[in-house]
Structure 1
Amino acid sequence: MNFRFQNLLGAPYRGGNAVVVDNTLLVSPIGNRITATDLIKSETLTLPCQSSANIARLAASPDGLFLLAVDDNNRCLLINLRRRAVLHRLSFKHPVAAVQFSPDGRLIAVAAGRHLEIWRSPGFKKEFFPFELIRKSPDFNGAVTALGWSPDSRHVLAGSEDLTVRLCCVNKSSSFFDPFKLLGHHDTIIGAFFGVDKKTNGVSRVYTLSRDGAIFSWNYIQKGNNVEVNENGGESSEPASPGTPEQEVSVTGNVKKRKNFDGGDGNLEEERGCMLHGGKWELVKKDFFMQAPAKLTACDYHKGLDLVVVGFSNGVFGLYQMPDFVCIHLLSISREAITTATFNEMGNWLTFGCAKLGQLLVWEWKSESYILKQQGHYFDVNCVAYSPDSQLLATGADDNKIKVWTVSSGFCFVTFSEHTNAVTALHFMASNQCLLSASLDGTVRAWDLFRYRNFRTFTTPTSKQFVSLASDQSGEVICAGTLDSFEIFVWSMKTGRLLDVLSGHEGPVHGLTFSPTNAILASSSWDKTVRLWDVFEGKGAVETFPHTHDVLTVVYRPDGKQLACSTLDGHIHFWDPIDGLLMFTIEGRRDIAGGRLMTDRRSAANSSSGKCFTTLCYSADGSYILAGGNSKYICMYDVADQVLLRRFQITQNLSLDGVLDFLNSKKMTEAGPLDLIDADDMDTEEGVGKQIRVKPGYDLPGSMPNSGRPIIRTKCLRLAPTGRSWAAATTEGVLIYSIDESFIFDPTDLDIDVTPEAVDAALGEDQPKRALILSLRLNEDALIKKCIISVRPVDIPSVVSSVPFKYVQRLIDALAQLLEDCPHLEFILRWCQELCKTHGHSIQQNSRNMLPALKSLQKSLTRLHQDLADTCSSNEYLLRYLCSTSSKA
């Protein structure tokens, strides 16, 4: 039961801005979750924390420790990236369009509605209220849309919808409340950046960009001889007037720093320290990107390289060298708007995101090569399937595409797009290198995962819509159920010929599964029956199980001795397929109930719609079953005792419909819920204005009958053959839950003498048998591995023979984990060989209970075999080359 959320697949990016932390860690929002991608190791991980709505803005501290995430409900989370824990929470009063840490990390600038707010950044010390509001500007004439900090963290540029950019000095209240204005733009400001003079390392210019594709360059002009720029370029002061208190000047000529409001170093309020307000700003150049009618939607500036990257609503991005405005690259990545564009710290990588396509790219502009290229499904994920070794996960969606993901890294490595309609079912063959898919376009296709191609297509004489798929254990027969003709079609895998058509159902066949032990096919239909078919004998339906309601899905237990099916009334029926008897029934209506739709006239407790399971999945040993449907919950039941073990809530995202149990009556009007009423005065123009002011969520996958609000639901559940993880295809994407690998105290036979000290003492006295058994009784992972490694190779047979069979499963789990990171491959393989020799008969008799551990061992061995095969293949060519060159010499 110790399954915890691990990762989110199917949608690498859905909107908001992406940030790069520590130069190689890409952090991007996915709905109400946050994903961190290591660009060097090519691994992605979704943080366990959730926001209450879709995340709109992200900001990372300069040291890479903290992350600010602001959602559509103006709620902010302060997250420790290394600990992956939420430290503090804060709610803003106005919609947040931009948020940035200062370069020194002491302050946070927030564009909240028509205000610019400066907050003190929380630290590691414990405080009752860690966020402290330092400054708040008067109302702008429009919403603040862009922020930019100066390198010395003392000035902020704030661009807004009123077409102005305001220069505010944080340390001086007078200039903060009466800022310097940069005028001249004819559209909403998208970006405002300080340019740094490389000679003086100080601020010398400002770049402002607007939505109409204009970039203005502003230079700082000294005001006569009264203003001088010091070595750092960040300070200047006029000669003291008579009566002015004497200032403390350091040896270098700079004014000494004193403590200010933020606890850091800064000049006194009385000192004329804000040199950017003391001089004059002059517009020296106007440049245009010439991409009309497309709008500028995203931009970023790299101070060290003096480069500007821009993205447009037509999918074009450009890289320009400033201040000469020289175009280095001008390329197109799609036909949809680029919603985020950013540099990494070194400036050699560019990150682009397209929310509508779910596309995330990292591009090295010097070598013109991709570092990362991921695109998720942009419609509902209908089905998932694990490979037999649990290393791969295939997903099919309403966008007609099939994607295959590597579970360990979270990356999609191949996409198949030959289907012309929604993909409804997927199935991996036992060979691990063949994938089957069924679609509403009337075809069943077989895909080769070695050559990444469609090598066989199964069709029918007349076009049908397939919604279910199954294959027998040998892989010789393929069966698919239809939505329209209520038939089951049977093909030969080798020849592709149609062998038989099974008729008898009077409704859509939404469930198909073969028995794991024989060639009996089970099918479920909306005609309220489950039928068993003998496919090879051609006898037709050999058994019919009637129900009182429509049957939605059917699944066999892994040992083939039990059949489970769910019905429209929210019940799960368990049948004995051999004797044809109903064993028992689980009533799950109350367990899956929860969540009220915006359009529901009844409360969640009284509503009867959707309270049923549409997908079922047995565990590897058949002891429990997972069930999901049109609800925010996934239920886990104990099969033997028919009790609910646990409910998994798949999301807390209030941007989705059906998450709240009780709706806010204050938002109910005569015309319906306030959230579903489209505002006529809302700025729907294409570009950034739409992203800032229109509530996100329109591009999320999911059915959208409620004016664009997707409904939370689970369409497919699959448990990995290893039993260590399971996947759920939901509105939020494909959620991966796995067993927590951290140590959980679960002793087997514990008494006063079984202690870690006793294990160490046995190892010190050269008693490997006693040490291993003691560690297995303690069930502590680190001790078990330590005892396995300490055994000499010649002693492995005697040690294995001394291990009781009840500890064998735990020992196999430890060996499978050691194969992942232990360099002693032959040593571990000898352990496995001796285990099979000594306990092979007992393992075979208890195969049902041992199956998860054996699958984990098989997964590790398969991965190592593939790695060694690739290494040997490359070494073979190298040796051939060396031999040929030596012979010539």
Structure 2
Amino acid sequence: MAHYRFNNLLGAPYRGGNLCLRGHHLISSVGNRVSEVDLQLSSSTTLPCENLTEIRCVAVSPSGHHMLSFDTDGRAILVNVRKRVTLHHMNFKGKVTACEFSPCGKSFAVLVGKLVQIWATPTMLKEFAPFRLLRTYGGMYDDATCLAWSGDSQWIIVGGKDLTARIYSANHLDGYAPPTLSGHREPLVAVAFCAQLDGFSCYTISEDGALFEWQLLDDEDEDEDDANGSNKSKRRKKGEAAAAAKKKKPKGRRWRLRGKHFFHMPNKLSCARYHARSGMLCAGFAHGVFTLHRLATGEFNHLQTLSISTQKVTSCEWNETGEWIALGCAKLGQLLVWEWQSETYVYKQQGHYYDVNACAYSPDGALIATASDDNTVKVWSAATGSCFVTFDEHSGPVGAVCFLPSGHAVLSASMDGTVRAFDLMRYRNFKTLTSPDPCQFVSLAVDPSGEIVCAGSLDTFQIHIWSLKTGRLLDIFAGHQGPVNALCFSPESPLLASGSWDKTVRLWDVYDGRGQTDVLQHAHDVLAVAFRPDGKQLAAATLDGQIFLWKPDDARLEGTIEGRRDMAGGKTIGDLRSGANVNAGRAFKTLAYSADGALLMAGGNGKSVCMYDVEGTSLLRKFSLSKSKAMDGTIERLDSSRVTDAGPLDLLPDDDDDDDDDDDANDIPGARAHAAGSSNANNGKKKRKTIRCKHVAFAPTGQGWAASTTEGVMVFAKDAGAAFDPTDLGEDVTPAAARRALRHGDARVALLMALRLRGAEEDEALVREVLEKTPPDAVAGALRDFPPALLSPLIESIAARATRGPHAQLMLRWARELCVAHGRAIHAAAHGGMLLPALRRLSKAFAAMHEDLAATAEASVFLLDYVCAAPPPMQAGA
């Protein structure tokens, strides 16, 4: 029951660093994880691999098989992108600012501080030291910022903060001195090679918007250019001396400044990327504008200018063909792909840029709604991980969100004193529920019929009851002496449970108007309540870290779960408490039951979400939310050597760190004022986010659960590989074994074996034989606990036999029992596009069957009337 694994991360498509665009796959960093977007399917997935701190640089090999991700401490992991596994680890012992694979894929270059290191690409073989350093270059007077390879993988151009660019050789050359290209007045942002017909050239771009074009010329060509631009009189006076010097001077090639171009933008240039094949240049600026230019020898042609936001464009990247340009804005969590020729968006996503307070699954499990401190409500597809609608009508932080039982609308409660209902068909706010007196709503609940809406307030300690159909306020329940921070309707009885900081859980009768029915007293503040799906148990989490299990019918305590020790594991930087009492303030703030009521999820201000067995009140598993050392609460043991007289080193400001991205990454989520991010805030110390879980929600299908955390919404799904299936054993899965199981009445095993062997023509005949020879009464048992991975071939097999042979009624029975047993899973998979081809084929087969039956009945209507009108046969002896 506890076999769940990390599946995706929602609410934070982009957090900073560079972008990689390979084919139709876009790779970006999300905190200490890496997200991959399939632009063809518009789906987003997050790799399960984690770095130890925030990722600031990602590099993908030209083949797209390998990926290197570097964190802020210089540690790197090599990942197999297709298999989503970590291959190797490496510590570069310094801050890595850029990394790029060579076009041939045999090596990669890394900028570590002032050094340029060239490494051989690790192979797929098992090696003791897979990373092999080829050579190291120095000579930079300040940190290097950008690099680029030449098309033949022989040269590397590197730009830095020392206002210069240098060209290094990827291979050893005797007597080669790397040339220095100088003249810029600001640090370099981008460099690029450009192979031209008349020579070899490169571009250097600085923060002040200056683009320098350099060309490699022979000495003779350089002398001719000097002669054309010099004074003829002075050349005549020094003619003989110049001729003699020219004879002695050895012939060679030198880099010469060919031209200067300027962008003329009011803000600094933040990123730039050049596409050598098409000659296109994309430049992003600090005020959210990016421009497209076409570069040629001595030409700087402006094509487009587009504003995507008001914040800095952090990164940009071209695809191989130069048709798409990917852009990212780290401050807003914005990620988009622009097709410049048609001037359309290929992909556009923007996550929550403050804390995600709540999440909720739709009744069919296909959608996930999230509420955040940025005043927005977003709806995501659980299958693709993409946000398809954002509601921004609220004027305050949104603290609670839920779906209507029909799944056609989303409700949200906000601190602005309103409860809003959003239509998922027309994507509009169709109802706004308010209170007579201004108040701040922090909790929300909807009854099973979808007619009654309840919201708990933070300041007035009241519960407001509305009719969603009329929008009229029905009643106001008063009785709590503290904020009502938790509400939950019973699925089976007319009861509403409310939890408050006044150390009570109160049960209310909303329908009959009897008001309060029972009061469940606790020793500490109540932080969360949840009803079991059968309505026969109520769970309440309190401030002392315990979970109380009540029977709501007679207000009797059935059991207690001591969860404070289960939340152990994680100390904050600067924590003065010892390890013995570090968990004194730990408590669960959110609870959720599984669809069958057997599991209880609990999360709070810790780095783990705990899964409990309800019947045995025991801990089954702890799910770690993050391993990032850049966040407080993830390290179990602090290093005392990093504590000084001024405080912990991790909290002291870095004088030499002027990276704006790092400052943005350390902003406290939910802090709206920019003054909070200034150097004067918090006495000049760094701000570190603390890992915590604000809300958990179980999918109605039982196939997964989601947790809204400080890192975003983490989605966990069932691990299909953890469940043992005897048909996966290859030697025993034979056609003879399948027919033997069918003869013995085990239709489920026979069907699983037949589908596993599906592929050849004789194996297709085996599937047809199992479907047709299974008794109608055994169809439901054959589909019990059916693997979701085999649903698509099963539907296709049913569709293929629906219009062939005399078994139409039996195929209809298979389709009906399949929908009854796996309707929710099929609906969720259809929303993600995984089962759509098979379902379309089945629908087409049933439509053809309906047409054939209708034609047959219409042709035989008079015969049927004659048969029905004929008198009954005379019985013998009548």
Counterpart position of 2:778: 802
Counterpart position of 1:562: 537
Q: CA deviation at 1:540?
A: 1.0
**AA matched with 1:78:** L
Where does 1:18-37 land on structure 2 (aligned, <5 Å)? 18-21=19-22, 23-37=23-37
What is the CA–CA distance in structure 1 between the aligned matches of 2:121 and 2:787, rounded to whole Å?
Answer: 49
Out of 281, 285, 289, the residue aligned to residue 255 of structure 2 is 281
Where does 1:255-274 land on structure 2 (aligned, <5 Å)? none
For the pair 1:43 / 2:43, whether they are aligned, the reply is yes
Q: CA deviation at 1:140?
A: 1.5
Counterpart position of 2:449: 474
SS at match of 2:824: helix
For the pair 1:724 / 2:699, whether they are aligned, the reply is no
For the pair 1:423 / 2:393, whether they are aligned, the reply is no
Q: Whose radius of gyration is greater, 1 or 2?
A: 2
Out of 291, 295, 300, the residue aligned to residue 273 of structure 2 is 300
**AA matched with 1:19:** C
Q: CA deviation at 1:362?
A: 0.1
> 2:34, 2:46 within 8 Å by CA — same for their partners in 1?
yes
> 2:758, 2:767 within 8 Å by CA — same for their partners in 1?
no
What is the CA–CA distance in structure 2 between the aligned matches of 1:789 and 1:538, rounded to whole Å?
Answer: 63
> 2:354, 2:374 within 8 Å by CA — same for their partners in 1?
yes
Counterpart position of 1:575: 550
SS at match of 1:500: strand
**AA matched with 2:84:** R
Out of 698, 709, 720, the residue aligned to residue 688 of structure 2 is 709
CA separation of 1:149 and 1:175: change in aligned 2, threshold 3 A = farther
CA separation of 1:769 and 1:449: change in aligned 2, threshold 3 A = farther
> 2:381, 2:832 within 8 Å by CA — same for their partners in 1?
no
SS at match of 1:628: strand
CA separation of 1:605 and 1:695: change in aligned 2, threshold 3 A = farther
> 2:214, 2:257 within 8 Å by CA — same for their partners in 1?
yes
Q: CA deviation at 1:501?
A: 0.3
What is the CA–CA distance in structure 2 between the aligned matches of 1:668 and 1:758, rounded to whole Å?
Answer: 62
> 1:62, 1:105 within 8 Å by CA — same for their partners in 2?
yes
What is the CA–CA distance in structure 1 between the aligned matches of 2:218 and 2:636, rounded to whole Å?
Answer: 62
> 1:616, 1:628 within 8 Å by CA — same for their partners in 2?
yes
Of 137-146 and 43-52, the range deviating more from structure 2: 137-146
CA separation of 1:298 and 1:282: change in aligned 2, threshold 3 A = same
What is the CA–CA distance in structure 1 between the aligned matches of 2:832 and 2:149, rounded to whole Å?
Answer: 48
Q: CA deviation at 1:834?
A: 3.7
Query: TM-score if structure 1 supplies the norm length?
Result: 0.84
SS at match of 2:219: coil
Where does 1:599-638 land on structure 2 (aligned, <5 Å)? 599-638=574-613
What is the CA–CA distance in structure 1 between the aligned matches of 2:220 and 2:338, rounded to whole Å?
Answer: 45
Out of 191, 202, 220, the residue aligned to residue 206 of structure 1 is 202
What is the CA–CA distance in structure 2 between the aligned matches of 1:449 and 1:461, rounded to whole Å?
Answer: 28
Out of 303, 318, 322, the residue aligned to residue 295 of structure 2 is 322
What is the CA–CA distance in structure 2 between the aligned matches of 1:313 and 1:623, rounded to whole Å?
Answer: 52
Out of 422, 433, 443, the residue aligned to residue 408 of structure 2 is 433
What is the CA–CA distance in structure 1 between the aligned matches of 2:740 and 2:784, rounded to whole Å?
Answer: 27
What is the CA–CA distance in structure 2 between the aligned matches of 1:862 and 1:665, rounded to whole Å?
Answer: 52
Where does 1:242-253 land on structure 2 (aligned, <5 Å)? none
Q: CA deviation at 1:429?
A: 0.7
Q: What are the Cα deviations for residues 480-520 of structure 1, in whole angstroms up to 9, with x where unaligned?
A: 01111110000001100000001111111111111111221
SS at match of 2:12: coil
Report the identity percentage: 43
Q: What are the Cα deviations for residues 173-199 of structure 1, in whole angstroms up to 9, with x where unaligned?
A: 5566x41000100010111111112x4
For the pair 1:179 / 2:152, whether they are aligned, the reply is no
CA separation of 1:584 and 1:785: change in aligned 2, threshold 3 A = farther
**AA matched with 1:182:** L
What is the CA–CA distance in structure 2 between the aligned matches of 1:443 and 1:16, rounded to whole Å?
Answer: 38
What is the CA–CA distance in structure 2 between the aligned matches of 1:814 and 1:156, rounded to whole Å?
Answer: 47
Where does 1:138-149 land on structure 2 (aligned, <5 Å)? 138-149=138-149
CA RMSD, 1 decimal: 3.4
Of 69-78 and 853-862, the range deviating more from structure 2: 853-862
Counterpart position of 1:196: 195
What is the CA–CA distance in structure 2 between the aligned matches of 1:90 and 1:814, rounded to whole Å?
Answer: 36
What is the CA–CA distance in structure 2 between the aligned matches of 1:359 and 1:510, rounded to whole Å?
Answer: 32
Counterpart position of 1:133: 133
Of 3-12 and 599-608, the range deviating more from structure 2: 599-608
Q: CA deviation at 1:757?
A: 3.9
> 1:775, 1:784 within 8 Å by CA — same for their partners in 2?
no
> 1:315, 1:335 within 8 Å by CA — same for their partners in 2?
yes
> 2:545, 2:587 within 8 Å by CA — same for their partners in 1?
yes
**AA matched with 2:502:** D
**AA matched with 2:719:** D
Q: What are the Cα deviations for residues 401-428 of structure 1, in whole angstroms up to 9, with x where unaligned?
A: 0110111111100000000011111111
Q: CA deviation at 1:802?
A: 3.4
CA separation of 1:866 and 1:36: change in aligned 2, threshold 3 A = closer
What is the CA–CA distance in structure 2 between the aligned matches of 1:612 and 1:220, rounded to whole Å?
Answer: 67
Name the count of aligned residue pairs. 797
What is the CA–CA distance in structure 1 between the aligned matches of 2:58 and 2:688, rounded to whole Å?
Answer: 23
Counterpart position of 2:528: 553
> 2:383, 2:828 within 8 Å by CA — same for their partners in 1?
no
Counterpart position of 1:884: none
> 1:593, 1:605 within 8 Å by CA — same for their partners in 2?
no
Out of 218, 221, 227, the residue aligned to residue 222 of structure 1 is 218
Q: CA deviation at 1:745?
A: 2.0
Counterpart position of 1:5: 6
Out of 368, 373, 396, the residue aligned to residue 371 of structure 2 is 396
What is the CA–CA distance in structure 2 between the aligned matches of 1:361 and 1:395, rounded to whole Å?
Answer: 21
Out of 518, 543, 555, the residue aligned to residue 493 of structure 2 is 518
Of 702-711 and 566-575, the range deviating more from structure 2: 702-711
Q: CA deviation at 1:153?
A: 1.3
CA separation of 1:126 and 1:220: change in aligned 2, threshold 3 A = same
> 1:816, 1:856 within 8 Å by CA — same for their partners in 2?
no
Counterpart position of 1:655: 630
**AA matched with 2:660:** K
CA separation of 1:820 and 1:699: change in aligned 2, threshold 3 A = farther
Q: CA deviation at 1:708?
A: 2.2
CA separation of 1:42 and 1:536: change in aligned 2, threshold 3 A = same
**AA matched with 1:515:** S
Counterpart position of 1:246: none
Counterpart position of 1:509: 484
Of 98-107 and 360-369, the range deviating more from structure 2: 98-107
CA separation of 1:791 and 1:64: change in aligned 2, threshold 3 A = closer
Q: Which runs of 5+ in 1 are unaligned?
A: 228-276, 684-688, 844-849, 874-889
CA separation of 1:212 and 1:744: change in aligned 2, threshold 3 A = same
Query: TM-score if structure 2 supplies the norm length?
Result: 0.85
**AA matched with 1:124:** M
What is the CA–CA distance in structure 2 between the aligned matches of 1:821 and 1:507, rounded to whole Å?
Answer: 57
What is the CA–CA distance in structure 2 between the aligned matches of 1:555 and 1:61, rounded to whole Å?
Answer: 48
> 2:738, 2:754 within 8 Å by CA — same for their partners in 1?
no
SS at match of 1:437: strand
Q: CA deviation at 1:825?
A: 8.8
Q: CA deviation at 1:816?
A: 5.3
**AA matched with 2:280:** L
SS at match of 1:207: strand
What is the CA–CA distance in structure 2 between the aligned matches of 1:818 and 1:474, rounded to whole Å?
Answer: 37
Q: Which runs of 5+ in 2 are unaligned?
A: 224-250, 677-681, 845-878
For the pair 1:677 / 2:652, whether they are aligned, the reply is yes
Counterpart position of 2:876: none
SS at match of 2:747: helix
What is the CA–CA distance in structure 2 between the aligned matches of 1:516 and 1:327, rounded to whole Å?
Answer: 62
What is the CA–CA distance in structure 1 between the aligned matches of 2:595 and 2:753, rounded to whole Å?
Answer: 22
What is the CA–CA distance in structure 1 between the aligned matches of 2:128 and 2:516, rounded to whole Å?
Answer: 69
> 1:655, 1:697 within 8 Å by CA — same for their partners in 2?
no
Counterpart position of 2:67: 67
Q: CA deviation at 1:782?
A: 3.6
**AA matched with 2:485:** H
SS at match of 1:761: helix
Q: CA deviation at 1:815?
A: 7.6
